[in-house]
Amino acid sequence: MAVDKRKQTLEKLRSSEAVYVLMSGGTKLPYVECDSDTYDDQILVFCREADARNRMAALIAEKNPVQTVKVEKKSFLIFYTSLYPMGVNCIVVDDGTSERIAVQLNELISRNSPDQLPKGQVWVENPALNLTAIYFMQELHKNRGQGMTEEMKELYEEMMAHLGRGRFIFAVRKDKGIPALKGKDGELYQPLFTDIQEFGKFNRQNQFRAMVVEADKILNLIPAGSAGIVLNPMGVNVQFKMAKTSQNQ
């Protein structure tokens, strides 16, 4: 019976005319939570808008800024695929009954591995960093104006550790140089992207080209006068102070 229920749930995720998702105002991404029992990093998907709005109201009451967004069938593939670079591995489906069904993302949709890329192409994806940044920004907006909590401090340290390894994408102007964005503190930051999906959000008008850079080379690309980097400015939008010193110039 349980197997049949899971099959039905997977079919709903594939063939429903639409589903409803809770989006975080702090990240502009689906709201993510960690299951306390399984430790799955999961999003909530609803079959009925009313159920999504009820859950939205409960989260807002807990000071989590979220909103309900409708995802239509034509956008399912793009939406589900976008969960991979976010670090999400599970979808919890609420169909209006008392029972919620959790399905693993890889049960719903498969994707190519880095080994299947055409020769000369490079796989750039940092799901662990992106996921930690999501949790950090969700907590930041939940606790706005109250300073850094112990959980946020731990998440920030974890982000810095992830930032120190892997490879990333810088946006480079087709005419010259790397663009800079002004932060709320008035200082300039260089955009840095965890994956091609986040770079694409920034490059909607096709003004930039993607430059892949290893973590230990990031400082070399930060010009004098910049305060550091801003991670995924169209998503989590986390600023990191990384100004050059005389030792790393």
Q: Which amino acid is at 90?
A: C
Predicted confidence at residue 246, as pLDDT, reads: 43
Per-residue pLDDT of 80-98, as tens digits, reads 999 999 999 999 998 877 6
Per-residue pLDDT of 4-17, as tens digits, reads 888 889 999 999 99
Predicted confidence at residue 249, as pLDDT, reads: 45
Q: Is the pTM of this model over 0.95?
A: no
Q: What is the dihedral of CA 57, 61, 64, 69, to 10 degrees?
A: 10
**Residue (of 211, 125, 201) closest to 173 by Cα position:** 211
Percent helix / strand / coil, the chain, rounded to 5: 35, 25, 35
- For the chain, which residues make up each domain, given as ranges? 2-108, 127-241
Predicted confidence at residue 77, as pLDDT, reads: 95
What the block records as the tokens of 216 is 């230990």
Q: How far apart are CA 214 and CA 209, in angstroms?
A: 16
Per-residue pLDDT of 161-217, as tens digits, reads 999 998 999 999 877 778 889 988 899 999 999 999 999 999 999 999 999 999 999
Predicted confidence at residue 121, as pLDDT, reads: 75
**Above 80 in pLDDT, residue 112?**
no
Q: Which residues contact 159 (CB under 8 A, 6 or more apart)?
A: 129, 132, 133, 136, 238, 240
How sure is the predictor about 147, in pLDDT bands with cuts at 50, 70 and 90?
Answer: confident
**Above 80 in pLDDT, residue 41?**
yes
Predicted confidence at residue 221, as pLDDT, reads: 86
Tracing tokens 């069938």 back to the chain, one arrives at: 73
Predicted confidence at residue 3, as pLDDT, reads: 61
**Fold designation for 2-108:** Trna Endonuclease; Chain: A, domain 1 (3.40.1350)
Predicted confidence at residue 56, as pLDDT, reads: 97
- Structural contact between residues 23 and 66, judged by C-beta atoms closer than 8 angstroms: yes
